[in-house]
C-alpha cells in the first residue's frame, strides 16, 4: 500500500487540476476512498505545497520559451531577404501550441517579440525616424506591425497544423477507447 500512496501523492496536484485521464482519476478516487492518509492529504493544505514546485517549473519553462521567442525574432529579422523564417515560424507556432495549448499565447509569443524587435531595430533607421515626428513614429509602428503580423501568420499556420494533429490524436484515442476490451 505504501507504493500506491506515493504514486497517489505524486498525482494529487494533477488530480486537483483535473489534468489526468479518466482511468487515472478512477484509480486515485478508489485509493482515496480506501486510504485515510491519502484522503486527508488530498483535503489538506499540505497538498498545495506539493503543487508549488510544479508551478515554478512551468514558470521557468514559460520564461525560457519567451526568451527563445525574442531570440527567434531577432534571428529572423537578421535573415534579411531569406524566406527560411516562413518554415521556422511555422515550426515555432506548432511547438508553441503543443506546449501552451492556447492559440492566443501562440499569437502573443509570435507577435510581441517581433513587434518589439522591429521597433528597436528600426528606431535608428533613417528610413523610418529622422526627427521623431508623429508621422515617422506612426510609420515605425505600422512597419513593425506589418513585420510582426507577417511572422505571426506563419506561426498561426503552424499552430493550425498542431491543432489538427491534436484533434486526430484525440479522435484516434476516442475510437480506441470505444472498442470493447473483452470479447464474448
pTM of the prediction?
0.56
Note the pLDDT of residue 160.
92
pLDDT at 41: 84
Over its length of 184 residues, how does the chain's per-residue pLDDT go in tens digits? 577 888 888 888 888 878 888 888 888 889 889 888 888 888 875 545 444 454 555 566 666 766 776 676 666 654 455 667 677 778 888 888 887 788 888 898 888 888 888 888 778 777 666 777 788 788 888 888 988 898 889 889 989 998 998 888 888 777 776 766 555 5
Q: Which residue shows C-alpha cell 515550426?
A: 91
Is 11 buried (19+), middle (13-18) or exposed (0-12) by CB count in 10 A?
middle
Amino acid at each position: 500500500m505504501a507504493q500506491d500512496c506515493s504514486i497517489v501523492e505524486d498525482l494529487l496536484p494533477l488530480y486537483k487540476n483535473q489534468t489526468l485521464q479518466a482511468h487515472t482519476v478512477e484509480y486515485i478516487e478508489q485509493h482515496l476512498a480506501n486510504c485515510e492518509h491519502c484522503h486527508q492529504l488530498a483535503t489538506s493544505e499540505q497538498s498545495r505545497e506539493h503543487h508549488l514546485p510544479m508551478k515554478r517549473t512551468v514558470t521557468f519553462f514559460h520564461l525560457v520559451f519567451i526568451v527563445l521567442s525574442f531570440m527567434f525574432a531577432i534571428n529572423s529579422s537578421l535573415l534579411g531577404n531569406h524566406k527560411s523564417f516562413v518554415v521556422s515560424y511555422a515550426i515555432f507556432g506548432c511547438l508553441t501550441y503543443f506546449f501552451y495549448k492556447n492559440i492566443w499565447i501562440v499569437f502573443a509569443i509570435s507577435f510581441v517579440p517581433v513587434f518589439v524587435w522591429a521597433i528597436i531595430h528600426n528606431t535608428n533607421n533613417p528610413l523610418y525616424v529622422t526627427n521623431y515626428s508623429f508621422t515617422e513614429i506612426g510609420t515605425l509602428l505600422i512597419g513593425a506591425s506589418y513585420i510582426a503580423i507577417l511572422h505571426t501568420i506563419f506561426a498561426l499556420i503552424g499552430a493550425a497544423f498542431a491543432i489538427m494533429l491534436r484533434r486526430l490524436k484525440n479522435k484516434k484515442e476516442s475510437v480506441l477507447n470505444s472498442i470493447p476490451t473483452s470479447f464474448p
